[in-house]
Amino acid sequence: MPGTSVATESVIETDALTKRYGKQLAVDALSLTVPAGSVFGFLGPNGSGKTTTIRMLMGLIEPTSGRAKLLGRPMPRDTRTVLPHVGALIEGPALYGFLSGRDNLLRYDAADPTADPRTRRVRAEAALDRVGLTAAAGKKAKAYSLGMKQRLGLAAALLQPRRLLVLDEPTNGLDPQGMREIRALVRELASEGTTVFLSSHLLDEIEQVCSHAGVMAQGRLLIQGPVAELAAGARGRLVVTTPDTGDAVRVLKELGVTDLVVAEDRVTGDPPGTGADADTGTGTGTGTGTDLAELNAALVGAGVRVRGFGVERASLEDAFVALTGEGFDVAG
């Protein structure tokens, strides 16, 4: 950014960022750090404050208190300086239904004072191709499906090279193939040096594409950090494969295994204490005295035919449900 001093460590930084609507506290003292070059997943159930946060970051609404910086510059004070370097898709794209997808992009590009009009059509065609809309570029936007509108909004965000891309539920309305294509595009953009801030309520989306994540619930940030570390912080599930599921449940329950679930020939549960080695998934047990070998021996001693035994690696779902006490939509 010419003539500006930009922090290289983080592209988004907030300190006690807060937004109230009357008595409702939509975002509560949010302190967030998004590292440069990351794909940062902003995760939480619908209504957890994600979109309100994004609107404050982009200078669309004023915070009640606290501060926010994008690309090292305070927002919303430096909106005009910062936003030419930021692409965004927030709450779905605003489109002219009577114009074609291509003409919508040309309108978006014409509204950008930094865009060179001589190369406008080249940029529009490249953006359409990148999101897979070339074949539908001449169709009126009012005839687009929700997924196609999402793609067109993403194309608008990609008309210019961006240092930061802010995406609010970017796969909303897409079929599974469309989701995979958008995820591949996000990875490609990140490999080219663009930092991507991706808001989603889909755990699979975050786990598959993001390097870092933050978890929101009821307006508060519960945790943030590298995705691998967030998942590793949760304990894995004990898995026993046996035809004797009833006996296995009885023995495991007596030994302190909780949340037991039977599905066909599999019994799963939360291991007692902290003895389970959730990170390695090897079933060796570490830490306290209640290790997995003792559980296995007790099952065998009780006559349970054990055909498989171990601990599954903890997933983001395990970590986030443990943090929030509620489920997320994990469909991908």
In DSSP notation, 215-228 reads: EEETTEEEEEEEHH
Torsion angles phi and psi, residue 216, rounded to 5: -105, 145
CA–CA gap between residue 15 and residue 67 (Å, rounded) = 5
Cα angle 13-16-22, degrees, rounded to a multiple of 5? 125
Q: Angle, to 10 degrees, between the axis of helix 101-110 and the axis of helix 146-157?
A: 30
At 136-167, the pLDDT tens digits run 999 999 999 888 888 898 899 999 888 999 99
Q: In the prediction, which pLDDT does 28 show?
A: 94
DSSP letter for 330, please. Answer: -
Task: Enumerate residue ranges in the chain where pLDDT < 70.
Answer: 1-8, 231-236, 273-290, 313-332
CA–CA gap between residue 58 and residue 69 (Å, rounded) = 10
- 10-232 topology per CATH: Rossmann fold (3.40.50)
Cβ pair 12, 70 in contact under 8 A: yes
Among 111, 87, 97, which residue's Cα sits nearest to residue 149? 97
> Which amino acid would we find at residue 18?
T
Q: Which CATH number fits domain 237-313: 3.30.530.20, 3.30.56.10, 1.10.1040.10, 3.30.70.100?
A: 3.30.70.100
pTM: 0.72
Q: In the prediction, which pLDDT does 321 show?
A: 63
Instruction: Give the other-Cβ count within 10 Å of 178's Cβ.
Output: 18
CATH 3.40.50.300 domain position(s) in the chain:
10-232
Q: In the prediction, which pLDDT does 313 show?
A: 65
Q: In the prediction, which pLDDT does 285 show?
A: 37
